[in-house]
Amino acid sequence: MMGRERRRLTHLNQWGANGSDLSGFPIEQPDREMINKYLELVKGRENSEKRREKKIEKKSEERKRREEKVNR
C-alpha cells in the first residue's frame, strides 16, 4: 500500500467531523476500493501471523519427539 493511500485511510477521523484538516483543505474520504485494499492488508498480516505460529508449534513438537528418542 502506498503512503498516500494509507494517509487517505488514516486521515478519515483524525481531525473530527468538520471534514477538513487544520489547514482548511477538505480531507479526501476513502472510497470502497481504498477500504478493501486496507482490509486485504490487515487480513494478509493476520494470515502470516497464523503461519508463523503454526511453524513455531511444529518445531516445538519436533524438538519434543527428538528428546523422547534420546531419552529412550
Q: What is the pLDDT of residue 1?
A: 47
Q: What is the DSSP letter of 18?
A: T
DSSP state of 21: -
Please tell me the total count of domains within the chain. Answer: 1
In the prediction, which pLDDT does 32 show?
83
Range of the domain at 42: 3-71
pTM confidence score: 0.43
Total number of residues shown for the chain: 72
Question: Cα separation of 42 and 32, whole Å?
Answer: 15
Model pLDDT for residues 63-72, shown as the tens digit of each residue:
999 999 888 7
Please give the Cα distance from 72 to 65 (Å, whole number).
Answer: 11
Q: Which three cell numbers stand for residue 59?
A: 518445531
Tens digits of per-residue pLDDT, 12-64? 555 555 555 555 556 667 788 888 888 888 888 899 999 999 999 999 999 99
